[in-house]
Structure 1
């Protein structure tokens, strides 16, 4: 969502927590436009974060502007400032349509809303259980947006675009490909604005997605070429962003300062390139077993909802801002009394510590993951352990190397393992704990 400096009197707002939702709603509206006149709308383009959260253009003319709010609050008063701003901007620019998208049903809407706020209107969506689409609602719950996209896409493929029947069996794949295009642009724009919020309009004014690119996906004969590293990087960003939004949704005590700190983390994570994302996931999910050579493998095996919500984001929230240390294989770390502390997604209870340590070491040995072993401590949600090396029984630390090198390698590796500890979040040094009230 738009990230220009604002005042939020009702609740703390994370400006990054809704970027996935925003991108999905933008895609949904693009599909609606394609369905309304498939051939005539090939020349449209989607703009992000300039006129509004997103806007539809034909050449230099803005056809509609869209604002997206995923607030917990349902009272109209929580949205009135945003609606007023959108109304004034639309009138000033002569934009005929201004849509306000919300995740929850808004209450206490004034009886004079239509007259007072024209051309602003709440965007409507079909009620999912209404097969004929004759009944609508003026909000889109976070957990229903995928249903809307899939239904609209299926209808577009069959009833409008005249695509072959086999494409209906891969609607999810086509959706993922379309979302990757939109998400990549959302990420780029958000990241640029995050670095220089003062120049938001200038930065975002040229950030367009041509509808022709979306048509190219709809009409493709083969979808395998789309599933490249850029695709899987985008899918990982979408997953991480979704988990972050869920995390923020569940927290009632996030201050604006905490939101800003967490937004900084998410901005840094989503700015990672493919190799950076691999390094980040190896470091923060050291207990995940697998041969992670591609982002597709990370996508399928490494990242999960609880590891991010209960592990990573909770650690980021509770501790002070972490630094990125030059030359380190780990994206974020804290330094206290000469010891580096590294965040992880390990959220398991203390009774699972033996198996977790075993998995970390087994993975590091078999896949050569060395980035964690920098004589520090791995921060977990609940596990504390002075060393992870006392689970070496049954693990061959020399597997895969020449016999002549066995003893030296074993000695070096075990020496490194003895220097790696695990510390529970509650027991990290007090100097690293955030003083912000919960």
Structure 2
């Protein structure tokens, strides 16, 4: 979540791996503020990546600043630099409340922590009472933040007299909409900072606010269909992809700082794709997924899952050298080696499933007129090697607006093109495309 790459003694850090977590914790804190005084806090606003990872403002006054760290490390020494920096910033700006959010319980906290790091405090979260009588803890696991938001939102709706009871039945829908608003702003801010020079980062981030009134408008809305547009589903896809990326980084022990930067560059590009670019990206990288995929809501439900991203896409990006970014192509990333283009996919299935995977790719490409990459080259998979994807028997659905002769001719032409498309596993990719750092 810190803007610039950091080198700490215990861990390499991906600056993008926790952006979803950061946004959700920011939303959780906003909901807590709204719950504390629903009417009085309407004029608050959420700032991202300026005073800190996020901050709460009333007009020009910063009420609290928040730093979020989702490191795997549990030793205080891995966080001490960030805590010291937050302490110094808070004192310099005369901000009375500075909170440090972590995803794991921290060990070896100094006895004089409160005195030495004033005004910084570890943020506390509610938990069900345990046998020792505790009702809160100073960390929030990654897999618990969703329920925390849901519970807070449910209680808010129940406690605020002016909110109708029927909203309790739409908590999931309201939560998803609120998360999309915050997530969109987090992504925009991260991306602008990612592309900016250091001298311009502070200026960019200082202007990125979410007015609490926007959050109130969602909670108090009479109709939630209005929010389920393409922009909403794009944000939900970004949240999913970011979550899968965080899961991937969590499970890797060998990520160097250079690898983190490489993966950050990929995620920055993917999360900044617009609606049509995201559709093209998913068609190209998930060619085996079935569905009509005319809208992002269809992509959201059918084209992407955790395994495809963690075991397929992100593993390919990690193991190979940096792919070229294709600005004017429907294929977002590719590698060129000795005249052959190689394209990343989310195909992670074992070799024994190759005939079935080829069948699904061919059927989908013929039925849905997928043209984005089936011209030549090779699809990179986790474990499948095949000279051509076309040597399978594929049926075809009849189209109401196309006669049989025309349809069969089109089918034959496409299959001719698909004969040029191979599948290659990570193990058998050309050596020149493998990241030497991992050898």
Q: TM-score, normalised by structure 2?
A: 0.96
Name stretches of at least 5 consecutive residues in structure 1 with no aligned partner.
none
Q: Aligned with 1:25: secondary structure?
A: helix
Q: Any idea what SS the aligned residue of 1:421 has?
A: strand
Q: Is the 8 A contact 2:362 2:394 kept in 1?
A: no
- 2:311 equivalent to 1:307: no
Q: CA deviation at 1:399?
A: 5.8
2:101 is aligned to 101
Aligned to 1:148: 148
Q: Which residue number corresponds to residue 33 of structure 1?
A: 33
- Summarize deviations over 1:73-118 as a string: whole Å, max 9, x none: 1111111110000000000000010000000001111111111111
Two-structure CA RMSD over aligned residues (Å): 1.7
Q: Give per-residue Cα distances to partners, 1:47-97, cap 9 Å, x unaligned.
A: 000000000000000000000000111111111110000000000000010
Contact 1:397-1:413 at 8 Å conserved across structures: no
- Structure 2: gaps of 5 or more residues: none
Find the counterpart in structure 2 of residue 276 from structure 1: 277
Aligned partners of 2:435 and 2:143: how far apart in 1?
Answer: 32
Gap change, CA 1:410 and 1:13, over 3 Å in 2: same
Q: Deviations over 1:5-31 (max 9, x none)?
A: 433222100000000000000000000
The size of the alignment, in residue pairs, is: 436
1:289 counterpart residue number: 290
**Correspondence for 2:258:** 257
**1:329 shift after superposition:** 1.8
Matches within 5 A, 1:233-252: 233-252=234-253
Counterpart of 1:173?
173
Counterpart residue number, 2:78: 78
Residue of structure 1 in register with 2:138 after alignment? 138
Matched, 1:352 2:353: yes
Instruction: Quickly say closer, same or farther: Cα 1:156–1:410, change in 2 above 3 A.
Output: closer
- Does residue 224 of structure 1 match 2:225? yes
Bigger drift between 165-174 and 144-153 goes to 165-174
| Residue aligned with 2:254, SS | coil
Q: Secondary structure of the residue that 1:67 maps to in structure 2?
A: strand
Structure 1 residue 223, shift from structure 2 partner: 0.6
Hey, what's the Cα distance between the residues in 2 that align with 1:125 and 1:331? Answer: 40
Give the TM-score, by structure 1 length: 0.97
CA shift, 1:413, in A, is: 1.3
| Mean Cα deviation higher: 337-346 or 397-406 | 397-406
Give the whole-Å Cα distance in 1 for the aligned partners of 2:324 and 2:183. Answer: 27
CA gap of 1:161–1:418, structure 2 versus 1, over 3 A, is farther
Structure 2 Cα separation of the partners of residues 196 and 123 of structure 1: 31
Deviations 1:221-267 (A, max 9, x none): 11110000000000000000000000000000000000000000000
Q: CA separation of 1:161/1:302 partners in 2, compared to 1, >3 Å: closer, same or farther?
A: farther
Quick check: 2:7–2:13 contact (8 Å CA) kept in 1?
Answer: no
Cα distance change on mapping 1:346 and 1:69 into 2, 3 Å: same
SS in 1 for 2:66: strand
* Cα offsets for 1:356-408 (capped at 9, x unmatched): 000000000111111120211000000110001110x2424986633453564
**Distance in 1 separating the partners of 2:168 and 2:383:** 45
| Alpha carbons of structure 1 residues 226 and 399: separation in structure 2 relative to 1, 3 Å | closer
